[in-house]
Amino acid sequence: MGARGSGGSVSSAGARVYCGMYAPARLAWPQPDRALPFLIEDVTPRDWRVPGGAAAQHALHVGGIQRIATAVRDVAAATARFAALLGTPPAGETATPDVEFALAGGQHIALVSPRAADDEAAAQIARHGEGPFALTLRAADGAPARQTVPLDVARTHGARIHVPAG
């Protein structure tokens, strides 16, 4: 189902920066299965790739991605595809029919199927097909955001982004 490749670049300081990439077997456009992502795994130490200090402080006090919600028509079929791509089973039971995969960095990918004709997942599929439709950012201290607030979609160009409350 998926393939792992590697790549890299040279930073402005001259250091070689490496990454691993996980992608569906075919990355053709139009992509036959838009729900399957490609993922980039950072291999090089973070301080080689990302500035520290004040340059790393975000005005919204966020520190990375906590969760990506991906709209899918069939959660069971998507779960099998994601498990093959990620090489891991889902994270466990959830209180909803959704399925979550936990990644090594503390991020989660949620597979969400429409529950009503007018919910966010249904709107995503109707407009764009299966694929990512909402993003939750985690707090700058790395702690998971227990309560979040949505950013104004008019200011995020339609992207559904939730940030830690407070």
**Owning domain of residue 55:** 2-164
The CATH number of the domain holding residue 93 is: 3.10.180.10
Give residue-wise pLDDT tens across range 36-95. Answer: 665 666 677 777 777 778 877 777 778 888 999 999 999 998 898 888 888 889 987 666
Q: Give the pLDDT of residue 103.
A: 86
Which of the two residues, 158 and 78, has the higher pLDDT score? 78
How many domains would you assign to the chain?
1
Residue 42 tokens, joined: 């950072």
Element (H, E) at 164: strand 160-164
Task: State yes or no: pLDDT of 35 exceeds 70.
Answer: no
138 DSSP β-pair partners:
64
How far apart are the C-alpha atoms of 131 and 150, rounded to whole Å?
A: 19
Which of the two residues, 50 and 29, has the higher pLDDT score? 50
Distances 23 to 58, 94, 102 between C-alpha atoms, Å:
29, 26, 17
